[in-house]
Amino acid sequence: MKKNKIAISLGDLNGISPQIALKAHKKIIKWCQPIYITNRFAFKNSAKLLGTKIPKNLKIINIGKNFKIKKGKVCPLSGKISYQSFIKAIKLTKKNRTKAVVTLPINKESWNKAGITQKGHTDTLESFFKQKAIMMIGCPQLFGAFFTHHIPLKDVASHIKTQKLKKFFLAFYRNTKQNKIAILALNPHAGDNGVMGDEEKIITKAIKKSNEKLKKEIFFGPLVPDTAFTKQNRKNFTYFIAIYHDQGLIPLKALYFEESINVSLNLPIIRTSVDHGTAFDKAYKNNNISIKSYLNAVKDAISRANQK
């Protein structure tokens, strides 16, 4: 069977992305045709600093202005290249020249210093396609989605509206087809019947309306957040919807950090990613960088492409 072409957005080259990509290349070339999108000059510079060379069978689409690697440093040029890489990968996949996008980590401060208004990959996807993306992170043992993601914690409560929640819940169901999905509460003790907040009344209403729309009980909750991820609950549920970013990511990263991936749902293209950052503190310093998350992201992208 012909291998799928997968666009690899190499992320910030000042971080651990080049090391991950080069270390994993021999494995993923057996599964797909990876198309690496980055600045060729800078990537070669990365390989030299890592004491290796870019393999001859590694296909690069060259973009942007040449620059020298600044190991583990915030850099506008590196930020701009990582953004341009992502946009090019999106466009290739939208045109069906590649079947999916897999992203390595970017540095949000570098994007900001490069004058990029989006805060990250998910925001860029939403801006590009003019529709809401669903961020889902995890692995087969546990997946979590986030009703809100890159917004200040103080703004979360104001986003909790019945129709917005219902729309999100139903979109998540359409994209995952899961029959049991747990919804987290916002407040400690799920609000204690209004003693610590009444947002749970809105969440409960949205759950009820969503189940009525589907004519079956799919969504359960709102669950008390501090006990939602106990072993017993994880026997009952694999898919969780958190109300805000850290609420879902803390248990996920505590349990499955190295193997988890990030999947963008509810979009016209397939996009998967590693679930970690640029690790500037580790970049170009040692050979013990884990590639599990990256390998899993590539595998998941191929699987989703084959199902299309």
pLDDT in tens, 202-225: 999 999 999 999 999 999 999 999
- DSSP output for the chain: -PPPEEEEE---TTTTHHHHHHHHHHHHTTTSEEEEEE-HHHHHHHHHHTT----TT-EEEE-S------TT---HHHHHHHHHHHHHHHHHHHTTSSSEEEE----HHHHHHTT--S-SHHHHHHHHHTS--EEEEEETTEEEEESS-SS-GGGTGGG--HHHHHHHHHHHHHHH--S-EEEE-SSGGGGGTTTS-SHHHHHHHHHHHHHHHHTS--EEEEEPTTTTTSHHHHHH-SEEEESSHHHHHHHHHHHHTTT-EEEEESSSS-EEEESS---TTTTTT-S----HHHHHHHHHHHHHHHH-
150 — pLDDT class (breaks 50, 70, 90): confident
51: β partners: none
- Same-domain check for residues 290 and 193: no
And the tokens for 8? 């690899």
- Same-domain check for residues 94 and 212: no
**Domain carrying residue 275:** 1-131+267-308
- Same-domain check for residues 256 and 275: no
- Among residues 13, 122, 24, 31, the alpha carbon closest in space to that of 73 is found at 13
User: Phi first, then psi: what are they for 47, rounded to 5°?
Assistant: -60, -40
Neighbours of 26 (CB within 10 A): 10
- Same-domain check for residues 255 and 271: no
- Same-domain check for residues 152 and 6: no
CATH of the domain at 271: 3.40.718.10
Average pLDDT over residues 134-156: 92
31-42 tens-digit pLDDT: 999 999 999 999
Indicate if the pLDDT at residue 306 is higher than 80.
yes
Average pLDDT over residues 129-138: 94
228-285 tens-digit pLDDT: 999 999 999 999 999 999 999 999 989 998 889 999 999 999 999 999 999 999 999 9
Domain count, the chain: 2
The pLDDT of residue 220 is: 97
Average pLDDT over residues 179-204: 92
Round to whole Å and give the CA distance between 40 and 53: 12
Round to whole Å and give the CA distance between 121 and 10: 12
- Same-domain check for residues 184 and 61: no
Average pLDDT score over the chain: 95
- Same-domain check for residues 61 and 104: yes
Indicate if the pLDDT at residue 1 is higher than 70.
no
- Same-domain check for residues 176 and 58: no
Q: How many CA atoms lie within 13 A of 182 on its CB side?
A: 23
Indicate if the pLDDT at residue 88 is higher than 90.
yes
- Same-domain check for residues 56 and 112: yes
133 DSSP 8-state letter: -
Query: What is the pairing mode between strands 134-139 and 261-265?
Result: antiparallel
- Same-domain check for residues 153 and 234: yes
- Same-domain check for residues 48 and 96: yes
140: left (phi over 0), alpha (psi -120 to 50) or beta: alpha
- Same-domain check for residues 273 and 215: no
